Structure 1
């Protein structure tokens, strides 16, 4: 008897006309998988990868990097970010644990290239009395050179530079335009779509009486468009320190070139209350419809964490938040020319600004502080290092040495930033469809981003009205997230239930620490216009139970101080949950973002002690809980 084998069946099937071959209908898959085909990866259009990058880094082209010893230029910075080993300015071999996926080199637009030309004795500099004096001091090195650099920076900040020097290194001059072309050319050389994205960018360095109002400008475009413009500067007569003038530059760029640009506000903790104005800018100009609409359009992101401290919130702003006092810098403004006062804090930190934005939207119709979150280093070493065990400091003077923890970063009679207080932070995580300028820039524009203090924690955060625990069971939460809700950075769709639900998933850094907990931070404005906040623990490790006060017990601490080590014997490798707001009021504006905390791990000072034998001040913080902050999701009442 002939046996009908599997092979015979397959041959018979292939012999059928194409129109007769068996195909499952879309209806046959209903109830089996929520996608549109059996393969969950077919026809997928949503962002499926998180890309890690840096949006704030300086090379020797920046005056406050080159003047203080940084000798590394554009090529070294790009090579390092792509994963190559290089030699630091202080002669130390250095390499990232893993390459970055993208970077924006953001050298200061004012006097760009001046420092490198000063050391080289460029004629345009040494022909002036000021320039010749600084050049001769730089050749001597040591304390003489350092004092000259401080004098130069002071003259720049006070507007007392020789007009000939300003003219020689302002946009439009031969020297300045040549440097801008070098910036463009270097980004083009290292941009490799699909592997590494190199953005053309710069930092607009508004500094009003020592108060930091910097913004990093990132172009979506390549050389063809970038070459049609020169960066915005702050020095008169062609520059301005007013953010409204920067927004005009951004608009003119798009009109002139047909390209796209955005700005990222610098961490505001050194602005002494000027970064997030409520009634008027420092210029005295009222916060009006023009301001709120322009800021909303041009600043989709905020740098919430970096080397000079963390900017999520402050313990005096969030006294009920047990994790609010993290890498806090609150002695004063950028140059410590003015001490910090408590009334300044509310206009400096992300959480308070997000709340203030709800109020301004009610008043003026647009929320100027509807921003997403990113982290970056703001390093001035050309080295984007944000890991505690591989930290090369803020400046060349803070590269690994036996003295860096004890040597102040800055000190005046107004206050001090101790050397040990510098933070090994941070990076930007971006959910994008591919590793290209267009895809990553578009993700930043729509705020599908999050910040970490260094670890590469994977976080998904979605908001909707109908999420339930079953949406996590497939281990593919993003499919249900995009289908039923909106991702981080989005606005909740029209209500279909009594309260919004949020689906959040976090996976530890593969070479990092376990996770302690996931929290959802809610901010809202009640009917009287009063602003509120609350932090909810929504997922946590180790089967802990909340106490009678509603607080979750600490996760524990496995840090070995002497060995600068920890063990992943506590915490969880992943955490996920669906959470429903228990106090939702459909009449109240609100926002929600996720904060993910690691278990305690050593700060960089312990690695200095272990590897260098460095003395660590007794007041230094030795252990911290690194974290991630997602961009918020907003709710606005209908009608």
Structure 2
């Protein structure tokens, strides 16, 4: 909130207190009978609008900008949208994306750099590294080039025989191996160094050179209002082959980004050291940055651990600091879906969706006690328990999806999936046999192997903002007004408040009412009056080029009277006139129109639009809780079914043994939660 707003709010506080909340809203829109009276009351009008905005800001952390030019004291305005400040559009993008500048992409076949990645995201036709022409069905709105910080740009430097690289002894060795046709040997030397957490080429000058090349390309493609290109990188911490990776995103332009070089796992594998880096960046540049964790399912319980890397219990300071720097979590991507796990949620029939739970990156098998610390729903429940103990919630995150593509192509549709690496693009020999994670144990029996055919064509981030700019999109991420998609672009919106009525979800000013009287996804509720329970308004609209909707669900987590976290799922809207039973669940499946052999489906079932009003029937004002929305599409063919039809390829026997699991699925979206905290 701008200083102007704070000043006016303080100046007119006493005057505004003479009005009821409903009168304040009337004053804001100029419909109160006193609105056109004396200048003193005009001042009240100014404050009324600002006061309403301030209430909204404190409730759900909205960064609503009020300019001095917005405030008029001497006239009523006809247009009702002059002072509308709430987000009104969804912008779609990929926050986790690799080009040939990532060594684990460029050294194994990716020939496309940031330039091609950005052009592809903007909707242009691009030829892939294997010679296939590719294009998105619709352009994205934003992209983060997040190449790995570790030996950034090694492959392009080798390709061009960069003089700086040749001056570095290890750089020259890598160069000579590749140029002599021994590229895999060079890559394996690099990979083994990384696994041992030893920087094979500690050369800041090389890193800065390639970082500034990326910065120049990204800034050249940033078009405020049209397409947003973010500066960023991936910090690839993998202690003992356990995934603690984060993507770092900068809100700022090239002048700020050039003042630092990316922070790598060779600098530290401790997330708290990454937060130090982000804090130092902001102090040095006056800019802003955040980090997005991903793939808790490969972390062996470290991603949402209640201990620090040094083994100490996390404390209040840790909890606050983590949420300061990591407000959102990448809940779904190519390497599996991380919303829920069937072991943790046995009554959730939709929990087993692309579940990767064999182990880490091939060294350590999974143990059941790790799972609550790896999946988003389990972490959100842990967060409630920690908040009750610490007074701060370390896992109070919003949710997004991203690709983790290493092909430079952000493809998430099932019929247009170019895979994780260039070597597994459509039609390539190893598309089904490639091991994304290999059993590396000396006596391993292969049970930790994860094949590329087990990948999901996911995901995307949906961001509610007012404009397509770095500032607006970054700020939406910071306040968690975002949601995750497994690749589809369905529109989802949810508001929670204390006094919504059942018919208001159908109001044309649904969003205005939601912001004025409630909070959106990512927001907070508190101070429940006696007899009150949270009420929710939800809308979902199918992807214009995709499948109809099956159902809207609310996933609730809460602390029971013993302090233990519980969960429950409620179906709140279902398609095709099906019935929701008194226990809050619809027992009738939506149906299935998928023709697996032809990789087709029809929208003759499901609904294009679903809307829901829901009041928590089991609310206890003394219990901490969170609520998030999950929306499911009707069944559709997977990329494996499309591959078989389009390319005539033979699928793995494991796929054919379970066709209903691997050849069709129900795509979905997850909103950021809304939290309820008792006043005490």
Give your verdict on TM over 0.5: yes
Q: Is the 8 A contact 2:498 2:534 kept in 1?
A: yes
* Residue aligning to 2:340: 313
Is the aligned partner of 1:277 residue 2:300? Answer: no
1:578 is aligned to 2:613: yes
The Cα of 1:409 is off from its aligned counterpart by: 2.9
8 Å contact 1:406–1:616 — kept in the other structure? Answer: no
Equivalent in 537, 561, 575 of residue 527 of structure 1: 561
Structure 1 residue 417 displacement after superposition: 0.9
CA offset at residue 146 of structure 1? 3.0
Equivalent residues in 2 for 1:366-515 (5 A)? 366-401=392-427, 403=429, 404-412=431-439, 413=444, 414-496=447-529, 497-515=531-549
> C-alpha distance in 2, partners of 1:538/1:546?
8
Structure 1: distance between partners of 2:596 and 2:251: 45
Please name the residue that 1:552 is paired with: 587
Instruction: Confirm or deny: 8 A CA contact 1:402 1:613 kept in the other structure.
Output: no
1:188 is displaced (CA, Å) by 1.0
- Note closer, same or farther for the CA distance 1:27–1:302 as it changes in structure 2 (3 Å cut): same
Residue in 2 that maps onto 1:204? 235
Distance (whole Å) between structure 2 residues aligned to residue 483 and residue 121 of structure 1: 59
SS of 2:519 mapped into structure 1: strand
Partner Cα separation in structure 2 for residue 619 and residue 29 of structure 1: 73
Superposed CA deviations along residues 553-591 of structure 1, whole A, max 9, x for unmatched, are 110110011211100000000101110111100000000
Instruction: Please provide the CA RMSD for this pair.
Output: 2.2
Distance 1:327 1:39 in 2: 49
> Which secondary structure state, in structure 1, belongs to the residue aligned with residue 573 of structure 2?
strand
Of 146, 156, 166 in structure 2, the residue corresponding to residue 106 of structure 1 is: 146
Is this contact kept in 1: 2:249–2:291, CA < 8 A? yes
Matched, 1:603 2:638: yes
- Cα deviation for residue 494 of structure 1 reads 3.1
Matched residue count = 599
Aligned mates of 1:473, 1:555 — CA distance in 2: 23
CA distance in 2, matches of 1:273, 1:29: 60
- Structure 1 contact 599–625 (Cα < 8 Å) conserved: yes
Cα 1:214/1:365, change in 2 over 3 Å: same
Question: Is there any run of 5+ residues in structure 1 with no aligned partner, and where?
Answer: 1-23
Q: Alignment partner for residue 158 of structure 2, among 113, 118, 142?
A: 118
* Alignment match of 1:76 (pick from 95, 116, 124): 116
Distance (Å, rounded) in 1 between the aligned partners of 2:295 and 2:557: 20
1:212-265, CA deviations, whole angstroms, 9 ceiling, x for partnerless residues?
A: 101111111111211222221221xxx111011111111111111111111111
**Offset at 1:332?**
1.2
Q: Secondary structure at the match of 1:104?
A: strand
**Structure 1's 151 and 39: CA in aligned 2 closer, same or farther, altered over 3 A?**
same
Q: 1:586 to 1:196 in 2, by over 3 A?
A: same
Aligned partner of 1:298 in structure 2 is 325
Counterparts of 1:618 and 1:552, CA distance in 2? 32
Match of 1:87 in 2: 127
Give the structure 2 partner of residue 216 of structure 1.
Answer: 247
Structure 1 Cα separation of the partners of residues 149 and 452 of structure 2: 27
| Cα distance in 2 between the residues matched to 1:590 and 1:25 | 37
For the Cα contact (< 8 Å) 1:402–1:608, is it kept in 2? no
2:571 counterpart (533, 537, 540): 537
Assess if the C-alpha contact under 8 Å between 1:108 and 1:204 holds in 2: yes
Q: CA deviation at 1:289?
A: 2.5
CA shift at 1:130, angstroms? Answer: 5.4
User: Secondary structure, in 3 states, of the residue corresponding to 1:229?
Assistant: coil
Alpha-carbon distance in 2 for matches of 1:343, 1:594: 26
Q: Distance in 1 between matches of 2:618 and 2:367?
A: 34
Q: Aligned pair in 2 of structure 1 residues 28, 460: CA closer, same or farther (>3 Å)?
A: farther
CA deviation after TM superposition for structure 1 residue 477, in Å? 1.7
Residue of structure 2 equivalent to 1:331: 358
* 3-state SS in 2 of match to 1:492: strand
Residue 152 (structure 1) aligns with:
190
CA contact (8 A) 2:571 2:580 kept: no
Going from structure 1 to structure 2, the CA distance change for 1:387 and 1:230 (only over 3 Å counts) comes to same
**TM-fit CA distance, 1:281:** 2.6
Q: Normalized against structure 2, the TM-score is what?
A: 0.85
Partner of 1:14: none
Structure 1, residues 508-546: CA drift from partner, whole Å, max 9, x if none? 001100000000000011221111000110000011124
Question: Contact 1:559–1:601 at 8 Å: present in 2 too?
Answer: yes
Partner of 1:262 in structure 2?
290
Q: Which deviates further from its counterpart, 387-396 or 107-116?
A: 107-116
3-state SS, counterpart of residue 409 of structure 1: strand
Q: Decide which of 620, 623, 631 is 2:664's aligned counterpart.
A: 623
For the residue of structure 1 that corresponds to 2:218, the secondary structure is helix
1:318-356, Cα deviation, whole Å (9 max, x unpaired) = 1110000001111111x2111212111111010010110
Answer yes or no: is the 8 Å Cα contact 1:464–1:493 preserved in 2: no
Paired residue secondary structure (1:360):
helix
Deviation for aligned residue 1:127: 6.3
Residue number in structure 1 paired with 2:45:
none
Contact 2:535 2:615 in 1 (8 A): yes
The DSSP-based 3-state class of the residue aligned with 1:538 is strand
**Conserved? CA contact 1:402–1:614, under 8 Å:** no
